[in-house]
Amino acid sequence: MTATAASAQRFREFKMPDVGEGLTEAEILKWYVRPGDTVTDGQVVCEVETAKAAVELPIPYDGVVHTLNFDEGTTVDVGTVIISVDTDPGAGPVPSAEAAPVAEPEPAEAEEPQGRQAVLVGYGAAPASTKRRPRKAQARPAAQPVTAGLQAELNGRAAVPAPAVVPAPATPAPAVPAPAAPGAPRPLAKPPVRKLAKDLGIDLATVVPTGADGVVTREDVHAAAAAAAPVSRETVTVPTALPEAVAVPSAGETRIPVKGVRKATAQAMVASAFTAPHVTEFITVDVTRTMKLVQELKQDPDMAGLRVNPLLFVAKAFLVALKRHPEVNASWDEANQEIVQKHEVNLGIAAATPRGLIVPNIKDAGGKTLPQLAEALGELVATAREGKTSPAAMSGGTVTITNVGVFGVDTGTPILNPGESAILAFGAVKLQPWVHKGKVKPRQVTTLALSFDHRLIDGELGSKLLADIAGVLEKPKRLITWG
């Protein structure tokens, strides 16, 4: 057996798995081990943050940690080796020909397995599509992650030098992008990105793509435009590397790298706002009876230990209204030009967490009783606060509720969670003068706002849905007569 083969058997490499459906990268938040530490099969060795959640990764080997390939705070592509383990530390020194494990090159003719490969957490990385140009490889030292501040230099294809003071030219001239080679494939980019590039005068063929499968993103275009702009200051100091998680201060402003949950939220909101035609309707409703029922059920033995609050009844009212109008619970399949009717309501609840906005959902919420729904809401909130919401809990939602009332806000115009048909904003409940039984009396009133995808839901259907939600909250006995 060769030294290379022996080392490959002794040293096992663990790659960054796809911890959520379709994710392409994750940031290493914390290492729980160091080189020389003993580990066992199933032991958690690090915590990573994806665009959806923070996840702990267990190691599938017994042995001693040999190398950690990336520092904390580094964003790593799925499929990249992040740690190696010496599975036979008693075998003596590492063979002289191999100071570290070397991955065996895969034969070009090797047949790729179909679909995703199973990994410890989530799914394996999806195979590259044959319809897309392969993503351009970029060598990146483990200890020096690329930061947002250096993206302009990368997109301009300029090497990042050591710290130095670079004098600005006396008469700066805009950079002229090199023309694309004849017969070169057309750059991959969505129509809004192509329009942005056209408006900024950027040739997409000259932009280095960072999106999945070589797709040019809006950030790539902005970075390329920044690289092509004239230098306005007399001198520019170019650092070799900056930690990704550290805000970069400058005169009059602070730049904070966009990544993780914030990056995913931004991309999702832009995609939703410019893909699904939004319509928002509003209704103001007297919820005095519902608020009284909330107080009564807090004392009910059957609801002991459960979270009983106005949001619980808004969720139940939404589910009852969806039962009366099941065609709302659907999604739009652009590729096949089909409307996909969902048979179960996976109710999303927008939650603000220290890492940003997330929308976990309650699976088959429409099939739950009021106590079961209260229990599910309580678990969802507790898990989100602890930062332990799993990617699976944030996938497959069909409709969402956002409770802006907790901030004292009356209402808003919520943006749809991508792939969903409707989102309901629940405003603050306030004591207001209201005509009740022919007399003006102080009543507890709130405003609801419903945004929906106009491709799926016509104005009539959306209006009926919102009116029914308000009807249940105005007279909660309709939970029985309608439910």
pLDDT tens across 247-290, in order?
556 678 888 887 776 777 777 778 777 788 899 999 999 999 99
The structure tokens 């599938």 sit at 60
Confidence band (pLDDT; 50, 70, 90) for 231?
very low
What pLDDT score does 50 carry?
Answer: 76
Task: Name the more confident of 228 and 403.
Answer: 403
State the average pLDDT over residues 422-437: 96
**pLDDT exceeds cutoff 60 at 160:** no
For residue 305, what are the β-bridge partners? none
What distance in Å separates the CA atoms of residue 316 and residue 335, rounded to the nearest whole number? 33
Q: Which residue has the higher pLDDT, 345 or 351?
A: 345
pLDDT tops 50 at residue 225: yes
If pLDDT is split at 50, 70 and 90, which confidence band does 8 have?
low
Within 8 A by CB and 6+ apart from 472, the residues are 313, 316, 317, 320, 321, 478, 479, 482
Question: Is residue 170 predicted with pLDDT exceeding 50?
Answer: no
Residue-averaged pLDDT of the chain: 78
Residue 366's pLDDT band, with cuts at 50, 70 and 90, is very high
Check pLDDT > 90 for residue 421. yes
Structure tokens at 348: 């999303």
User: What's residue 219's pLDDT?
Assistant: 79
Tell me the percentage of the chain whose pLDDT exceeds 70. Answer: 71
Share of the chain above pLDDT 90, in %: 45
Residues recognised as catalytic: 454
- What does the pLDDT average to over 440-445? 97
**Tokens 């030292």 — which residue?**
141
Distance CA 78, CA 60 (A): 17
More confident residue, 213 or 297: 297
Distances in Å between the Cα of 55 and the Cα atoms of 48, 144, 392 are 5, 23, 11
pLDDT surpasses 70 at 203: yes
Instruction: Give whichever of 11-20, 61-70, 218-227, 468-477 has the largest mean pLDDT.
Output: 468-477
Which residues have CB under 8 Å from 360's CB, separation 6+?
Answer: 348, 349, 351, 380, 383, 384, 389, 393, 394
The band of 151, judged by pLDDT with boundaries at 50, 70 and 90, is very low
Report the candidate in 328, 278, 318 with the shortest Cα–Cα distance to residue 460. Answer: 328
Residue 483 is predicted with a pLDDT of 76
